[in-house]
């Protein structure tokens, strides 16, 4: 069975350009990673679940913000590991200093027998589309391309 995720790419206008909101995964594995490590706020859903409702829920769980307004579809992409990601976009704003993420537990350090809690998302940031292209996980770059097309810009 194919793993499926749904997420939201929030964007805002900045003068004659646009910026997108990306989140950085929390936990020790991602702590020192930056390029090709950021993501859209997203999460997995099961067969029969509504991707848009999942995307809204996950956005809230990873940022602390309840989204209102209509989402536009960016379609689905397949990441290198095989996961199918359904993307949506919405114009909006989010104060990254107000980030509130849900937590997860893992054994850390490995084989220590100690469980530690980490935020699912440890930070969020606004990036121009060009900068975001280097920050986002490679498999999600097509979502940036699709947003750029929707906004009337050139790809690349």
pLDDT of the residue at 81: 87
Q: Is residue 23 part of a domain?
A: yes
Number of neighbouring beta carbons within 10 Å of residue 109:
10
| Structural domains in the chain (count) | 1
| Whether the predicted model's global pTM rises above the 0.75 cut | yes
32-91 pLDDT, tens digit each: 999 999 999 999 999 999 999 999 999 999 999 999 999 999 999 999 889 999 999 999
Q: Is residue 28 part of a domain?
A: yes
Q: Is residue 156 part of a domain?
A: no
Domain CATH code at residue 88 = 3.90.79.10
Q: Is residue 121 part of a domain?
A: yes
What CA–CA distance (Å, rounded) separates 90 from 69? Answer: 8
Angle at 125 between CA 101 and CA 117, to 5 degrees: 25
Q: Which domain holds residue 126?
A: 4-150
Q: Is residue 91 part of a domain?
A: yes
Q: Is residue 155 part of a domain?
A: no
How many helices (H) and strands (E) in the chain? 3, 8
Alpha carbon of residue 71 to chain centroid: 15
Instruction: Pull the structure tokens for residue 88.
Output: 């949506």
């Amino acid at each position: 069975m194919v793993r499926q995720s749904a997420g939201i790419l929030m964007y805002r206008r900045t003068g004659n350009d646009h910026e997108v909101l990306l989140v950085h995964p929390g936990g020790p594995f991602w702590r020192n990673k930056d390029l090709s490590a950021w993501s859209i706020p997203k999460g997995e859903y099961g067969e029969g679940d509504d991707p848009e409702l999942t995307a809204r829920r996950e956005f809230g769980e990873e940022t602390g913000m309840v989204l209102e307004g209509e989402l536009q579809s960016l379609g689905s992409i397949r990441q290198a590991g095989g996961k199918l990601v359904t993307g949506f976009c919405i114009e909006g704003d989010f104060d990254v200093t107000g980030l509130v993420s849900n937590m997860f537990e893992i054994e850390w350090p490995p084989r220590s027998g100690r469980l530690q809690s980490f935020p699912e998302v440890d930070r969020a940031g606004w990036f121009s589309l060009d900068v975001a292209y280097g920050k986002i996980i490679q498999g999600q770059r097509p979502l940036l391309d699709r947003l750029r097309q929707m906004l009337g810009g050139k790809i690349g």
